[in-house]
Amino acid sequence: MTNLLKENIKISLDSIRSHMLRSTLTVLIISFGIMALVGILTSIDAIRYYLNENFMMMGSNTFTIRNRSMRVHMGNRSTLPKNFREISWKEAMEFKSEYNFNAFTSVFTYASNTATIKFGSEKTNPNIAVIGSDENYVVTSGNEIEKGRNISPNEVLYGTHVAVLGSGLVGKLFKANEDPIDKIISIGPGKYRVIGVMKAKGSSMGFNPDNICILPVTNVRQVFSNSRMSFSINVMVEDPLMLEAGIGEATGLFRIIRNVRLEDEDSFDVAKSDNLAEMLFANLKYLRLAATVIGIITLIGAAIGLMNIMLVSVTERTREIGIRMAMGANRITIRNQFLVEAIVIGQLGGLVGIVLGIGIGNILSFIIGSSFIVPWAWIILGVLLCFGVAILSGFIPATKAAKLDPVESLRYE
């Protein structure tokens, strides 16, 4: 059986070589269909990996309580954010003191998203985010201190004029490679002593955490105070498996603090670090559907082309079929010979399409800064689709070849 299969493959390759142009065109038609399918699906996998990598920077065990939900806009579809009453300082601090779950809790607020920071004659563009936070914000936001130290509880208590800078700000303000620790910088009307620098993280989806400045939240309440200041709460549970339990307990506690009645919906938003990624993943299904439709349409054309080349091959090799039958080959052997030939052409097209598809998909991966993706699931799907196309396209020509009359085939010119 194995020897017969090897012989059929050898005959198939000889036939492909003897009709190289026609076979190459058929292989390319099949490969374009597989390339479209694998290429787009590989790109989707690259996008998913990138989103997971960037939207889960805070970690899979973190959630945030705030007074405004996220807004996602893709094409003509948009999810409008829900807005709730501001979270007051009293509510945020009451939550922090009463939340007894095994977790780190931090209270923070955005003092400004358009601040300009100065040091000597150097200053930044007016696009710096200034965050007022307590001593736990660095931990719950997924950052680390690279140089100096974090804000202390005493500095939060007394509203001390100290600052922790993102690494991007250090490069903009201290261009002479000066040590930023203990230097005095200006933020609006206030002067602040730099006590720490955070590790670089790089930008993601338009937000650069290296360009933020962290001040004690009590200082921000004094210097940047406004009547509609709302506070947010970051919670990082120590055991990622307990995240949902932590969210449930936090939601229940904050409903009590906000005096939400049992029959009413939450008057605040609870967002996990991967919520936005999940919302975007839901929209990617349309792209996957489009890739499938494109691939199927192209493969239908490839199936027609493969059937055509096999029918022509049967006609051209009628005399050869008659000789094989005269030498003892039965109808099943003849049928299998042409089926194997169709499968070989299909798999050659699939191989070329898979290689091109992976290459095209990873070009996008390289552009967006994601990792190299080898989509094994889509590779297996491509191989199976090519096998199915070959069987469907080769069955009719193979059956026709098997039904030829040996005597009439020997007469064929």
What confidence score (pLDDT) does residue 367 get? 79
> Is there a contact between 302 and 26 (Cβ–Cβ < 8 Å)?
yes
Taking CA atoms, 17 is separated from 23, 116, 407, in Å, by 8, 70, 28
pTM over 0.75: no
DSSP H/E element including 130: strand 128-133
Tracing tokens 């889509």 back to the chain, one arrives at 378
CA geometry: angle 259, 260, 263, nearest 5 deg = 145
Q: What is the largest CA-CA distance in the chain?
A: 106
pLDDT band at 104 (very low <50, low <70, confident <90, very high): very high
- Reported as a single tens digit per residue, the pLDDT across 351-384 is 888 888 888 888 877 777 677 778 788 788 888 8
Least confidently predicted of 109-118, 141-150, 374-383: 374-383
Instruction: Give start and end residues of each alpha helix (H) in 19-113.
Output: 20-55, 89-98
What confidence score (pLDDT) does residue 175 get? 82
> Is there a contact between 164 and 108 (Cβ–Cβ < 8 Å)?
no
Which of the residue ranges 7-16, 303-312, 339-348 has the most confident prediction, judged by mean pLDDT? 339-348
Q: Determine the average pLDDT of the residues in 109-128.
A: 89
pLDDT exceeds 60 at position 71: no
pLDDT exceeds 50 at position 74: no
Q: DSSP states of 215-256 as a string?
A: EEHHHHHHHS--TT---EEEEEESSGGGHHHHHHHHHHHHHH
What confidence score (pLDDT) does residue 163 get? 95
Least confidently predicted of 195-199, 211-215, 407-411: 407-411
DSSP H/E element including 338: helix 331-368
- What is the spatial distance between Cα 393 and Cα 275, in angstroms, rounded to a whole number? 45
Task: Quote the crossing angle between the two packed helices 20-55 and 376-402, to the nearest 10°.
Answer: 160
Average pLDDT in the chain: 82
DSSP H/E element including 106: strand 103-115
pLDDT band at 73 (very low <50, low <70, confident <90, very high): very low
Amino acid at residue number 299: L
Tracing tokens 């007016």 back to the chain, one arrives at 126
pLDDT band at 183 (very low <50, low <70, confident <90, very high): very high
